[in-house]
């Protein structure tokens, strides 16, 4: 919400200035009482003008504030946040499984980056839902209905099966690196698919912008994962 306009100088700065060449002659033609009365009148008029200006500014600010109030979330916003919470939580699990035994291996920095940014995102998403009285989705719900692709939560785009997660947990050395990059690439591609739909069809501006950032950032990370695999000879 915008702040009301600030009044920097109630007197108008240089709006009243003296004329060095003629001020003495003018002053001589006006009595001290008349000059004092004139001065008080000018100051009262200016004070009234400032008060009126402040009230007008406050009224305009209030109207602008109403105009700029965020639109309520639509079903796409709500569904996207609920589903992306589950999606992000699995990304944290994938990263933690890798870091449990391979924190110092080449994919370690990438896994830590996932945790850092997606934990931040999770806080935002939960807060947005709570602001409008929504809770995170139930684990046994049907997900992705908001984008016309109803499916169980476990089968959302990019979600990894328990068997695939177990494979990562049991892997060692370069195989663990390769699996982490492959799994996170697949996971991110699914997240981008969801985020693109939310960005195109959501209503609340903050959430649309968030969806756009999720899509943009995860596309970049997919490229980084593929480049890392090539550099490490894991392709």
Q: Which domains does the chain have, with CATH numbers?
A: 13-67 (no CATH), 75-232 (1.20.1260.10)
Tens of pLDDT along 61-120?
A: 344 444 566 789 999 999 999 999 999 999 999 999 999 999 999 999 999 999 999 999
Tens of pLDDT along 29-43?
A: 334 444 344 334 434
Give every CB contact of residue 83 below 8 A, 6+ residues apart in sequence.
137, 143, 144, 146, 153, 156, 194
Q: What are phi and psi of 121, to 5 degrees?
A: -60, -40
Model confidence pTM above 0.95: no
């Amino acid at each position: 919400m915008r702040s009301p306009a600030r009044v920097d100088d109630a007197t108008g700065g240089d709006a009243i200035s003296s004329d060095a060449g003629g001020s003495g002659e003018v002053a001589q033609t006006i009595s001290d009482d008349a000059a004092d009365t004139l001065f008080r009148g000018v100051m009262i008029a200016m004070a009234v003008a400032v008060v009126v200006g402040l009230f007008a500014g406050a009224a305009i600010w209030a109207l602008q504030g109403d105009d700029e109030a965020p639109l309520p979330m639509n079903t796409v916003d709500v569904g996207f946040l609920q589903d992306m919470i589950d999606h992000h939580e699995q990304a944290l699990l994938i990263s933690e499984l890798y870091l449990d035994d391979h924190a110092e291996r080449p994919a370690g920095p990438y896994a830590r980056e996932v945790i850092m940014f997606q934990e931040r995102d999770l806080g935002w998403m939960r807060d947005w839902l709570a602001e409008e009285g929504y809770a995170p989705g139930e684990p046994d719900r049907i997900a992705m209905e908001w984008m016309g692709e109803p499916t169980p939560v476990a089968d959302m785009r990019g979600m990894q099966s328990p068997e695939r997660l177990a494979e990562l947990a049991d892997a060692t050395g370069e195989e663990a690196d390769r699996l982490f990059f492959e799994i996170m690439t697949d996971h991110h591609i699914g997240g981008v698919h969801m985020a693109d739909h939310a960005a195109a069809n959501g209503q609340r501006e903050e959430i649309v912008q968030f969806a756009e950032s999720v899509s943009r950032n995860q596309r970049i990370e997919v490229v980084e994962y593929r480049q890392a695999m090539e550099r490490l000879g894991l392709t």
